[in-house]
Amino acid sequence: MIFNSLEFFGFLTVVYLAYRIFPFRWQNWMLLIAGYVFYGWWDVRFLFLIAFSTTVDFSIGLLLAEEKMPALQRRTASLFLIGAAYFFLCINWAALSVSGNFDMTAFFTPQTMGLEVLGGTIVFVFIANLLINHVSQLPMERRRKILIFCSVFVNLAFLGFFKYFNFFIDSGENAFRSIGIDPTNLRLSVVLPVGISFYTFQSLSYTIEVYRRRVVPTSRFWDFALFVAYFPPMVAGPIERAQHLLPQLTNPRRIRLTQSMDGIVLILLGLFKKVAIADGVAPAVNAVFSSSGAVSQSDVALATLLFAIQILCDFSGYSDIARGVSKLFGIDLILNFNLPYFSKNPSEFWRRWHISLSSWLRDYLYIPLGGSRRGTVRTYINLFLTMLLGGLWHGAAWNYVLWGAYQGALLCGHRLLTGGHETLPTSQEAVGGTTDIHGGAVSAPRLLPSWISTPLRMGLFFLFCCYGWMLFRAHSFDQIRTFTELLFGFGANAPSVITKPTTSALLGIVVLIALQVCDYRAGVLESFTRWRPALQGLLYAILFFILIMGTSNAPVQFIYFQF
């Protein structure tokens, strides 16, 4: 189920109407069920992964702060995980999709793989309960270290297995063949669960924050289950922090009219970005990056520029819709984008782009590695390694690793040239969103008036940023080499293959640039909400009109679903 579909808006309508009728506790139950329905729409079997992460991290969270895990919570977590294994894996959910006669017998016929996982789950629960008894008897600090290791290991093992197993098998293909092993026999036919990186990082951040004693663990299992499975940010972010989202889920909410109106505007803006612009430029981008490499220099330049627009509108469009939908429920999500293409340097860019991920990497990778506290050389190593792993987070492909290395090199180079101290968003920015629309970057000495130097610096860094997007979008090292040669005038030009973006995309880009310039000059996001009512109404009519035009574009899956 995707945001830009009629089925989602039918789903949202039912959920919203029920939400407005139910009392607080029933609202949470309904949102939890809605989250599982929303995610299970892709594949019911993957709900077991969410249930597993929920059970493990809830249990570890309690054990990190209490002497013993209460019996009620232990029973609830154990029965939930076993029930999830049966309900999501053993039942033949494919029978529901069969048109015509519904075979009840086939629906309840246990699936072989499901029975195996169910058996393994029962064994796991039994052993886990024995280990809980043993761990509870250890000294507190030793117990805490063991528990946080278990949380990190389990979450990253699940993520690594589904996302990177085949990648490492393919990367080591020659090594396997040299010792007489056929790597094709080792590859797994496993579909990557949608958004696994997002909800895994969100769940993992909870146990880390509890370990650091920054968050008091919740004793209500179902509240934590909702924290993991809250559906608006579930598959493409923003990656929420427990200290920001959990209090909103565990306390009664008051839905204000202004908040609901802001939510509707964000949904409109997000759909406008995704449907009218991102989907409208996608064919032009695909025509070049899906080619054999026989393209012109102008093709590569234009396709790279259009991909920079596509990925911004696609990803920030999802975040806008997620924030908008959440506002309808009286819940605020953190800010994930803050005019990233107005950045003047890589440090500022990562204060503006995918803020929830860059701040996660800072707090849970860069700082634990030592940050800038262990000398200059170590600082550069930590910074580069953080961005390298950030690139790998995006996907199991070497071009993402190269993109991460490129971003790390830009950050290191900027730090070397300017002596900047902050390279990634601060913890406060991660939790509440940055309050400085201009990025809070370290000011450099001015050799030119700001009205000249600022646009020049923005334009120069945007070129560096676009080259990074070329690395990100390319499908092979050969394509990267060919396109780089063309960009720098060393390759052989071929006839142009790029197609013209749709009318909705061209009009939408003009409107979006105008809106973002207004935001930057006003110093506040969505500054149009402060316009006179007549001007606001005209703008919303224009956005809606271009959105309707964009419905003729071929739908494209959100880019970050694959991550």
At which of 229, 252, 287 does a domain end?
229
- Residue-wise pLDDT tens digits, 515-545: 999 999 999 999 999 999 999 999 999 999 9
**Residue 537 counted as domain residue:** no
Rounded (5°) CA angle 525-39-10: 75
pTM of the model: 0.89
pLDDT cut 70: percent of the chain above it: 88
Rounded (5°) CA angle 197-337-11: 65
**Residue 115 counted as domain residue:** yes
What is the mean predicted confidence (pLDDT) over 186-192? Answer: 63
- Residue-wise pLDDT tens digits, 41-78: 888 888 999 999 999 999 999 999 887 888 899 999 99
51 and 199, same domain (yes or no): yes
Catalytic residue chosen out of the listed positions 134, 244, 354, 394: 394
**Residue 513 counted as domain residue:** no
- How many other β-carbons are positioned within 10 Å of the β-carbon of residue 93? 16
Nearest-angstrom CA–CA distance, 14 and 34: 10
Rounded (5°) CA angle 390-392-393: 65
What does each C-alpha distance from 251 to 137, 245, 424 come to in angstroms? 34, 10, 31
59 and 199, same domain (yes or no): yes
pLDDT confidence tier of residue 370, bands split at 50, 70 and 90:
confident
- Quick check: is 394 catalytic? yes
At which of 381, 412, 441 does a domain end?
441
Decide if pLDDT at 170 tops 70.
no
**Residue 309 counted as domain residue:** no
- Per-residue pLDDT at 431: 46
**Residue 36 counted as domain residue:** no
Nearest-angstrom CA–CA distance, 466 and 464: 5
Q: For residue 252, give the 3-state DSSP assignment.
A: coil
Range of the domain at 194: 42-96+105-229
At which of 390, 423, 441 does a domain end?
441
Q: Give the residue, 247 or 111, on which the prediction is more confident.
A: 247
224 and 349, same domain (yes or no): no
Please state the φ and ψ torsions of residue 424, each to the nearest 5 degrees: -135, 160
**Residue 73 counted as domain residue:** yes
Nearest-angstrom CA–CA distance, 161 and 182: 19
225 and 350, same domain (yes or no): no
Decide if pLDDT at 427 tops 60.
no
213 and 362, same domain (yes or no): no
Average of per-residue pLDDT values in the chain: 87
- Per-residue pLDDT at 172: 64
In angstroms, how far is the first alpha carbon of the chain from the final one? 16
CA 42 to chain centre: 17
| Least reliable range by pLDDT among 197-206, 211-220, 415-424, 477-486 | 415-424
206 and 78, same domain (yes or no): yes
Contact 74, 129 (CB under 8 A): yes
Contact 441, 345 (CB under 8 A): yes
What does each C-alpha distance from 538 to 267, 275, 528, 534, 535 come to in angstroms? 17, 20, 11, 6, 5
**Residue 21 counted as domain residue:** no
- Residue-wise pLDDT tens digits, 429-468: 444 444 345 444 444 455 677 778 889 999 999 999 999 9
Q: Give the residue, 136 or 483, on which the prediction is more confident.
A: 483
**Residue 503 counted as domain residue:** no
pLDDT confidence tier of residue 190, bands split at 50, 70 and 90:
low
- Residue-wise pLDDT tens digits, 391-414: 988 877 888 999 999 999 999 999
Number of folded domains in the chain?
Answer: 2
85 and 212, same domain (yes or no): yes
- Per-residue pLDDT at 91: 83
Nearest-angstrom CA–CA distance, 427 and 295: 44
Distant-in-sequence contacts of 267-270, Cβ < 8 A, 24+ apart = 267/320, 267/321, 267/324, 267/325, 268/324, 268/540, 268/543, 268/544, 268/547, 269/317, 269/320, 269/324, 269/526, 269/543, 270/3, 270/316, 270/317, 270/318, 270/319, 270/320, 270/321, 270/322, 270/324
